[in-house]
Structure 1
Amino acid sequence: MKMIERVILIAAFIFVSGLLIFAVPNNAKESAKLKLEEPVNYFPSKANFASEETPLQIDDVKERLDRELIVNINLHASTILAIKRANRVFPVIEPILKQNGVPDDFKYLAVIESGLVNAVSPVGARGVWQFMPETAKERGMEVNDIIDERYHLEKATQAACSYFLSAKAKFGSWTLAAASYNGGMGGVNKQMDIQRETNYYDLLLTEETSRYVFRILALKEIMKNPSKFGFDIKKEALYTLIPTREVEVDSTITDLTTFAKEQGINYKILKIHNPWLRDRKLENLTNKKYTIEIPLSGY
């Protein structure tokens, strides 16, 4: 075959292939686009935080919730991880909220704060509840180079409950209490005085605080009804809470690696279950009692 004939054949092949690629029906393209963006009929007819109604009849309120729903529906990786982690973390958080008389919806505040992991923020907030060092100490947590109870889920949840109860007593509203966790009690109260408003949904706040409760509402909607929003995660794919036994110590542990080996585990597993231990030792000069979690055999 002559060279020019080969060139013509190749050119014809490329041209036909191009036509096939671009010949996908528009409705198929739109269908694929819809699946990537949002499920049909995703917006709720009503919503509430801690049984306090969200006024969806107000245009900007409806739009702000819509924004957070769309954002989190399409943040596939982080939303899937939050759903998986909740199966492990919520069973720890829920009873502590209940014991303190704090509404169950506040567990979704932890989701938007940290994604239910011991996150570290650029400004120094740490743990699932993202406490700053001084605030943690004010709420009864030990924070130093050896021990950092912001990483202790039970104690940090108890401290968060203390905050929520104080904020509820101040504002008379769980919604404002949640907003103040982001904007500060002083910051929210200042804007309430300036604007002469007493309802979160009627206040103009900073961008982050204005979005804060709506992010909670969105994650609540999605995590309570994941399949409705396209997140079909099988039960066996969820992360599970590992059963543990408790070991109480009231003296210094000079080497946590040796201690872990004596308990039948290794240093890595010890730190996974006790992230509040921040050093390779546990210095305890005051004989304070600490409880260390050790996973049961078969981990």
Structure 2
Amino acid sequence: MHFITPVLFIFLKLKERYFPVIEKILKENGIPEDFKYLCVAESSLQNLKSPAGAEGMWQFLAATARSYGLEVNGDIDERYHLEKATRAACQYLKDAKAKFGSWTAAAASYNCGVGGYSNFSSYQGSSYYYDLLLPEETNRYVFRIIALKLILENPVHYGFNLSPSDTYKPFKTKKIKVEQPISNLASWAAQQGSSYKMVRLVNPWITGKTLPNKSGKTYYIEIPID
């Protein structure tokens, strides 16, 4: 990802919508707030799918997502559930910090994987990030996060002037508790006074037209409100 002007404007517009959610969960988990910029580096605060199969704002592979408690199947993909995916990312980062001893190493491992960082650390006899010869992509990754922090915290200093009206505001929603299957999501949305399009927009983790819920789980589906 290169920091060209149009891309940075998108970051500045999106951060007002998503940073409050991310910041709250990072704080609850004792993760430094600056890790919200890792999310920007991963996905540009957009629900992307990488060529390698990583998905969502935190760019989890399916197997990794499941190992951190996210549901990923043909109907549900919680890599696209910002709150749950952020909590999973927090647990990943805490595990990595405990293993490697620093938040910088944890951030680097998010790029090259815990296994990859372990291999570099074992071979070179140190887990200290600044002592290691790492792949170029991983080296750039950490400094990209730092650059994003500098720019997004001081946009005017770097020539970006946005008024509050230019930013994307958080969706106003209410949460509906769902414990039963939904056989037709469009009909269900209409019963809630909404539409299939809007329900899918604010609940990107629902990937199909139904919610089978064969295991009887409890879900909270967001419904837009005026």
User: Do the two structures share a fold, i.e. TM-score over 0.5?
Assistant: yes
Paired with 2:199 and 2:193, the residues of 1 have a C-alpha distance of 10
Hey, what does 1:248 align to over in structure 2?
177
Q: Which runs of 5+ in 2 are unaligned?
A: none
- Paired residues of 2:57 and 2:80 also in contact (CA < 8 A): yes
Match of 2:205 in 1: 276
TM-score by length of 2: 0.97
2:152 to 217, 223, 228: 223
Q: CA deviation at 1:210?
A: 1.2
SS of the residue aligned with 1:216?
Answer: helix
Q: Percent of counterpart pairs with the same letter?
A: 51
- For residues 285 and 201 of structure 1, the distance between their equivalents in structure 2, rounded to whole angstroms, comes to 49
Question: Is 1:213–2:142 an aligned residue pair?
Answer: yes
In the alignment, what sits opposite 2:103?
174
- Selected match of 1:204 from 126, 133, 138: 133
* Inter-partner Cα distance in structure 1 for 2:126 and 2:219: 46
Larger Rg: 1
Deviation of 1:271 (Å) = 0.3
* Superposed displacement of residue 200, structure 1: 1.6
How far 1:207 sits from its partner (Å)? 1.6
Amino acid at match of 1:275: P
Provide TM-score, normalisation by structure 1: 0.74
With CA pairs under 8 Å and 6+ residues apart, which has the higher RCO, 1 or 2?
A: 2
Residue identity in the other structure for 2:177: E
What's the counterpart of residue 56 of structure 1? none
Residue 57 of structure 2 is matched in structure 1 by 128
1:192 to 108, 121, 141: 121
1:293 matched to 2:222: yes
Q: CA deviation at 1:123?
A: 1.3
Query: For residue 78 of structure 2, what is the aligned residue in structure 1?
Result: 149
Aligned-pair distance for 1:176? 0.3
Q: CA RMSD in A?
A: 1.2
Q: 1:208 offset after TM fit, Å?
A: 1.0
Would you say 1:159 and 2:77 are equivalent positions? Answer: no
Q: Residues 43 and 58 of structure 2 are in contact (CA less than 8 Å); yes or no, is this contact kept in structure 1? A: yes
Q: Deviation string for 1:35-61 (max 9, x for gaps)? A: xxxxxxxxxxxxxxxxxxxxxxxxxxx
1:197 CA displacement: 3.5
